[in-house]
Structure 1
Amino acid sequence: MDQAIKDIINIQKSASYIKYVDYHKDNIFAITKTSRLELPHSDYLSWILNPNRVGLGFFPVVQLIKTLLLCKERPINKNARIDENLLLKLSFCEDGFIQDVKVQREKEHIDILLEVVTKDKTLPIVIENKVNSSENGKNNDQTNVYFNYAEKAFLDEDGFYKPVYVYLLPKYNQSIPKNANFIVVTYQDLVDYVLEPILYKTKDDNKRSIMVNYLQSLSYQTDNEKGEAIMAISSEEKDIIEQFIKENKNLIQSVLAALVDNGEEDVEEMQKAINTFTSGMKDYTKYKFNGKEYTKNRLVLSVFTQFVEDMKLKNPNLSIADLEKEIDNSIQRTMNVFKNINDISDKYKGIGGTPRYFIDEPIALPSGEVILVTNQWGKEAAEKFIEWARSKGFQIEAA
């Protein structure tokens, strides 16, 4: 154990570790203990989407609209109601088409209500923001309440397009909106497609400082007894973490080995996660499937989702047991290709009970069961999966 302590000290002296600590230093959300309270997040998003506050005009809202189009392609959002042609038109932001954006907080208890005023009509966007909770209200059906309100409040004859409904949360499998018209968007989606593009475009140093502080807060974890899940990670922090593991891989392995000898629990899972991460670093291999390019994890999810859809046509009562019969032993792994979301044991759950090692996009089966596909796909495992998929008739090529 003495060597492990020395290794930990050496890790703490590494440049990447110091950089990581500095990244989270003096974060105002952490200091005020508001990093996981819902209201500050809704207030911040209202501020950054307001065309009169950040100085970028309609750019933030246009980025949000583009994000909705991207998220609509995911299986979890196949029933969400959005007018894709209208959103495409808005996303190109033709001169003068968008004339104003109104932002309201807590109107009829809606977290954020946007009204995108165009030359023709106004598009309402209803955003229900979830940080550490699922739906609440009298019958735990906020989405139905807000949907019913908006459908009556924003009518075509009064100059409105049909409202768009957004269900914002940290993880896809944290909760699913009861009203299927809501499109599920994660905070990571916001970071990747809205918040970071806004940051890169902003020139004002004071506003940039606020934006960086907010991005830092999304991955900040407090030390309280319940723990607080990471909501999203910025590109800068991803680079720092990748450099940290690359720089300290041997020391980390040494510490883990010492913990195993000392009888510490969950070390095996930590070891597996680090091995997967380090073996996959800078692996930009992409594959073509159905006319699109995918990384390994996204390829597996896309192919397996299509496989499930094909199986449903053959078997309207498709269940997990039926799927397991179709999976070749060569691609069955420690955690299998997929797991019943209810069977994910505590050792595979992170802080806050969120499943780790799985892609956060649930697939519902006709049997009523819900599954998650694993995200643990190294090169060798991915090749075995692709070989199996090709044997089922799927056309997959290296990009």
Structure 2
Amino acid sequence: MSEFDNITIEELRREIRKFNNDQNVSKLENYYRSKSLPEIIGASRKELAHSGFVAWILNNSESHLLGDFAIRKLLELLVIYSKDKQLSQHKELYDSIIISDFELDNIYTETERSIKNVGRLDIYLETDIKYFDKERKLRLIVENKVGTKEHSDQTTKYFDYYESQKEENDINLYVFLTPIPSLELMDLEFPECSCDEYIQINYQSVVDFILEPALNRNITDKTQFIIKEYLQSLSQPTLDEDEETYKQGLIMALGSDERNLLTKFWKKNQKLILATLYAISSDPEQEKDTRDSANQALNNLSTSNKDRSLCSIKFNGTLEVEKIRKSDIGYSTVKILERHGLINEESIEFLKSDRTANHNLLKTLNKVTATEEKYGRYRVSKEPELMYNGNEYYIVRNWGVGNIGQFIEKMSKEFKGLEYEIH
């Protein structure tokens, strides 16, 4: 029996009264009830419309008065999401982008670029770039996917074509843009396309790194209006049951104001929201798909809320740490090994290569990405957590129900004497 079977009518009435009097609810109702311009014209989930907007904001000759601001921020974003191979391949260029020591000239953008016997590229950008006394031709080849998956190995075909056209001093950067949530994007080892040379980014990162910062610049009222309308269209969930192309409920990105408002809304109305999900999931009058979706959401939320178990660790039968949070299991394990003299060249390499948490267990500061820092994967604002051979390491915090068991099994097997107990 669910805990929601026991909720009384009076409790429900009280929660509904609180809901009705909540100012955040009124703000959210006004925001989500009004349609953005892209929604009104039926373009809020059309890939061509989104490609057109991205190309518009990247075009320095447009009347938005942003100049090359958006391109510079996009290049910074590509550095953040690049993998080790891509970072090493374009080290000097990426270093210049990080310190913003480069110049752009002759910027050209195009959407739906037709390539004979290859396909139609979503967004193409070409510019001359000067950095560190070098002059190069830089191309951005962008494949944009909103509701559909890649088909016919498009990214591989574009990569092969543009690499075959590249001259000695040219630089091609390949971009795969999708609405994937940021936390899932961070966990990807490879892009979700056929060609591993692509750097995958998401619409949320475009909002965070380009669009919202653009609103704080000296731009026209018209540009402010266009960007805000576009931001609203990204945050509206898809609810059209006749539209099979897009995942129902798909939200492409959220602005910081909406995110903060929705977080407050959730905190103040958790009980009512959970009770509503339970009612829908157990109502035989609802469509089965609706009941299943509500039930899945309820199970996910309930599991998240209830999983407050702690962990204790022993070494050779002696209790080392007692009832720590799961997020600290990696840190505590490393510190126990250090305390018992088990940190050496071999064990350091083993710990550095461990990716049970979808991020390396140990990382030096220069290897921690801005996104990993932003989401607290490594506590780089504090002193280094492990020193060895002159190197300073930080230890990942990305543990939970989905990966802690595998970590315990792996560490117990590698380091005899380690014992873990979940409370």
- Shorter-normalised TM range: 0.5 to 0.7
CA contact 1:81–1:181 (8 Å) conserved in 2: no
**Match of residue 49, structure 2, among 33, 40, 57:** 40
What SS class does the counterpart of residue 231 from structure 1 fall into? coil
Write the mapping of 1:285-300 to structure 2, written as runs, cut at 5 A. Answer: none
**Which position in structure 1 is the counterpart of 2:111?**
105
In 2, are the aligned partners of 1:170 and 1:186 still within 8 Å (CA)?
yes
Equivalent-residue separation in structure 1 for 2:329 and 2:74 (angstroms): 27
The residue type paired with residue 208 of structure 1 is Q
Equivalent-residue separation in structure 2 for 1:58 and 1:99 (angstroms)? 9
1:320 maps to none
8 Å contact 2:191–2:199 — kept in the other structure? no
TM-score, L = length of structure 1: 0.64
- Tell me the TM-score normalised to structure 2 length: 0.60
- 2:77 corresponds, among 60, 67, 82, to 67
Tell me if 1:128 matches 2:155. Answer: no
Matching residue within 243, 246, 263 for 2:267: 246
In structure 1, list runs of 5 or more residues that go unmatched. 291-300, 310-374, 395-399
Q: Report how far residue 58 of structure 1 moved.
A: 1.7
C-alpha contact (below 8 Å) 1:64/1:194 kept by paired residues:
yes
**Structure ranking higher in strand proportion:** 2
Point out which structure has higher relative CO (alpha carbons under 8 A, 6+ apart): 1
* Cα distance between partner residues in 2 of 1:49 and 1:239: 28
**How many Å separate the matches in 2 of 1:205 and 1:286?**
45
| Structure 1 residue 36: Cα displacement | 0.7
Structure 2 distance, partners of 1:30, 1:221, is: 11
Matches of 1:68 and 1:288 in 2, distance apart?
32
SS of aligned partner of 1:113 = strand
| Contact 2:330–2:361, Cα closer than 8 Å, also in 1 | no
Distance 1:81 1:18, change over 3 A: farther
1:91-240 matches, cutoff 5 A: 91-94=98-101, 97-107=103-113, 108=115, 109-119=120-130, 120-136=135-151, 140-156=152-168, 160-171=169-180, 172=185, 176-225=192-241, 226=244, 227-240=248-261
Cα pair distance change 1:268/1:29, threshold 3 Å: same
Equivalent in the alignment of 1:271: 298
Matched to 1:189, the amino acid is S
- The more displaced of 196-205 and 46-55 is 196-205
- On the 8 A contact 1:79/1:180 being kept in 2, the answer is no
Specify the SS of the correspondent of 2:157: helix
SS of the residue aligned with 2:107?
A: strand
Partner of 1:14: 22
Q: Is the 8 A contact 1:11 1:17 kept in 2?
A: yes
Residue pair 1:126, 1:166 contacting (<8 A) in 2 also: yes
SS at match of 2:66: coil
Structure 2: how far apart are the matches of 1:9 and 1:29? Answer: 35
For the aligned residue pairs, the C-alpha RMSD in angstroms reads 4.1
Is the CA contact (8 Å cut-off) linking 1:63 and 1:91 kept in structure 2? Answer: no
Instruction: Indicate if the aligned counterparts of 1:127 and 1:168 stay in contact, CA closer than 8 A.
Output: yes
CA distance in 2, matches of 1:181, 1:80: 11
Question: How far apart in 1 are the matches of 2:217 and 2:411?
Answer: 43
Change (3 A) 1:43 1:7: same
Deviation (angstroms), 1:210 = 1.1
TM-aligned CA deviation for residue 154 of structure 1: 3.0
Deviation at 1:100, TM superposition (A): 3.5
Shift of 1:90: 3.3
